[in-house]
């Protein structure tokens, strides 16, 4: 079975652990993840790809589960030295091990390799067991329109909004800079067209899934896919579990609930995304016209629990 997953960072990564575990019980299974790149940025001359790295490190067994980003067992010598120089941005931490990844990525990009090939090269070390493809090789960045005290209305990079301000500034909208001119990375459209099932990870709908869908051609490919599309709610009982989904949803005027996000994605029959929507048992009973809704425990506490979530999502696709 060919499974294609749309994924952001840590929610996508943990979900993919379950997809991989499930796939290992089925011979002939093959998993492709189309991963958000709109959190990407350059800091200190280095290209950082937070969501790709979260997925790569998690599936490679190297992630820091508690911190939620970067590698376990990190040291911070280089960041300390940069701070001693007053090198901006001082609010963004880069671990020493992580910096090696960014050095390899930046060197390859500067030599002319596209991000998709760079990702393949990095994954040769980590063996994620899942094919990781960036949604696009082109520049695509989430910028956030905010009102900063004393500075007025400005658009700042998503990392500045989240890491520097923790999202605690008056926020009016998210803009996917570069989206209009971006093309799907090689392999993305094929992975959608050839899939037997397409899963939308319980990733942030506003800043992880929406920028993937903003790449021209991607939404149409999903609409035209012969495979069923099943989404898994990242919101459980009105709570975003972890991360910034509550702030993001409030900004776009969507209720932070499994019903709100299911409605935002919408039924495929209506030009939306979903054939199926899997919600937590605490959200049991919700209905979305045109979408098959089922419930299961959605806490991704470990790989076994997450593989059970994946099995429930695949059952909805049958």
Q: Which residues bind ligand FO1 (CB under 6 A)?
A: 8-9, 39, 48, 50-51, 53, 69-70, 92-94, 98, 159, 162-163
- What 3-state DSSP class applies to 51? helix
- The number of beta carbons lying within 10 Å of the beta carbon of residue 150 is 4
Q: How far is the CB of 158 from Ca ion (least distance, A)?
A: 8
Q: How far is the CB of 40 from ligand FO1 (least distance, A)?
A: 9
Q: How far is the CB of 94 from ligand FO1 (least distance, A)?
A: 5
Going by C-alpha positions, the residue among 70, 118, 72, 76 that lies closest to residue 98 is: 70
Let me know: does 95 contact 74? Beta carbons within 8 Å. yes
Report the alpha-carbon distance of residue 231 to residue 245 in Å, rounded.
16
Q: State the binding partner of 11 from Ca ion, ligand GDP, ligand FO1, none, CB within 5 to 8 A by kind.
A: ligand GDP
Q: How far is the CB of 23 from ligand FO1 (least distance, A)?
A: 24
Report the alpha-carbon distance of residue 6 to residue 107 in Å, rounded.
27
Binding residue for ligand GDP, selected from 184, 231, 243, 276, defined by CB under 6 A: 243
- In the complex with ligand GDP, which residue's Cβ is closer, 146 or 261? 261
The three-state DSSP-derived secondary structure of 251-314 is HHCCCCCHHHHHHHHCEHHHCCCECEEEECHHHCCCCECCEEEEECCCCCCCHHHHHHHHHHHH
211 binds ligand GDP (CB under 6 A): no
134 binds ligand GDP (CB under 6 A): no
Binding residue for ligand GDP, selected from 133, 236, 258, 316, defined by CB under 6 A: 236
Q: How far is the CB of 207 from Ca ion (least distance, A)?
A: 6
- In the complex with Ca ion, which residue's Cβ is closer, 57 or 288? 57
What are the backbone angles phi and psi of residue 243, rounded to the nearest 5°? 95, -160
243 binds Ca ion (CB under 5 A): no
Q: Do β-strands 141-148 and 197-200 pair in parallel, antiparallel, or remain unpaired?
A: unpaired
Q: Do β-strands 141-148 and 152-157 pair in parallel, antiparallel, or remain unpaired?
A: antiparallel
Q: State the binding partner of 231 from ligand GDP, ligand FO1, Ca ion, none, CB within 5 to 8 A by kind.
A: none
Going by C-alpha positions, the residue among 186, 46, 38 that lies closest to residue 105 is: 46
- In the complex with ligand FO1, which residue's Cβ is closer, 159 or 295? 159
Site for ligand GDP in 30-59 (CB under 6 A): 51, 54
Contact footprint for ligand GDP (CB under 6 A): 7-12, 51, 54, 201-204, 208, 233-236, 240-243, 245, 298-300
């Amino acid at each position: 079975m060919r499974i294609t997953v749309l994924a952001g960072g840590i929610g996508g990564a943990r979900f993919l652990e379950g997809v991989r575990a499930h796939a290992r019980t089925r011979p002939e299974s093959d998993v492709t993840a189309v991963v958000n790149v709109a959190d990407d940025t350059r800091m200190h001359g280095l290209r950082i790809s937070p969501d790709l790295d979260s997925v790569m490190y998690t599936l490679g067994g190297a992630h820091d589960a508690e911190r939620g980003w970067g590698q376990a067992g990190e040291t911070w010598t280089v960041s300390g030295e940069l701070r001693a120089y007053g090198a901006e941005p001082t609010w963004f931490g880069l671990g020493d091990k992580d910096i090696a990844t960014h050095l390899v990525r930046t060197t390859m990009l500067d030599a002319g390799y596209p991000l998709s090939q760079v990702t393949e090269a990095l994954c040769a070390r980590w063996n994620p067991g899942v094919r990781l493809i960036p949604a696009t090789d082109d520049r695509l960045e989430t910028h956030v329109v905010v009102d900063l005290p004393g500075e007025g209305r400005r658009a700042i990079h998503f990392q500045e909004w989240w890491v520097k301000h923790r999202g605690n500034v008056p926020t009016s909208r998210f803009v996917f800079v570069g989206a209009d001119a971006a093309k799907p990375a090689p392999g993305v459209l094929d992975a959608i067209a050839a899939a037997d099932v397409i899963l939308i990870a319980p990733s942030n709908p506003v800043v992880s899934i929406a920028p993937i869908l903003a790449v021209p051609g991607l939404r149409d490919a999903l609409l035209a896919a012969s495979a069923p599309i099943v989404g898994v709610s990242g919101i459980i009982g009105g709570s975003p579990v972890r991360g910034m989904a509550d702030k993001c949803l409030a900004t776009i005027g969507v209720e932070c609930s499994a019903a709100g996000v299911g409605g935002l994605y919408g039924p495929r029959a209506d030009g939306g995304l979903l054939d199926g929507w899997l919600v937590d048992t605490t959200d049991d009973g919700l209905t979305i016209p045109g979408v098959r809704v089922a419930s299961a425990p959605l806490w991704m506490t470990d790989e076994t629990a997450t593989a059970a979530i994946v099995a429930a999502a695949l059952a909805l696709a049958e």
